[in-house]
Amino acid sequence: MSVKKVNPLSPEQVLDLPAMPTAKQAFGALNISEGTGYQLIRQEQFPIEVVPFGRALRVRKVDLIAFLGLSAPAAVEVQSAAATYDDGAPGVQPETPSEQHSPTRASK
């Protein structure tokens, strides 16, 4: 029986994964082989929840980055990108208070 190696992913590559990466991508993020990964899934010992999509197995990216301890840098990266992004489109600016309406009651 041959062991299929998975290419390990860097933290940057993990953060670039789609919202629902494949099980194989998760194995790369965790730096484990396919055999070990699938064995852990079968034994219900995989460290994060595995979601079946038909015949494919997926994980949630947020669970993966939280398990790897990458959530704080990811949040800083998102905040930094949001703070520097300006497309010139009109809209609500972060410093501008928005109008708040009080709830209305339906007439009887």
Residue in the block written with tokens 């670039």: 16
pLDDT digits (tens, 9 = 90+) for 41-89: 999 999 999 999 999 999 999 999 999 998 655 555 555 555 555 555 5
The whole-model pTM stands at 0.63
Taking the C-alpha atoms of residue 32 and residue 41, their distance in angstroms, rounded to an integer, is 12
105: confidence class by pLDDT, cuts 50, 70, 90: low
Q: Mean of the pLDDT values across residues 5-12?
A: 87
Alpha helices, H only, the chain:
11-15, 23-30, 34-42, 61-67, 71-84
Q: Mean of the pLDDT values across residues 35-46?
A: 97
According to DSSP, residue 19 is labeled S
pLDDT of 77: 58
pLDDT of 5: 74
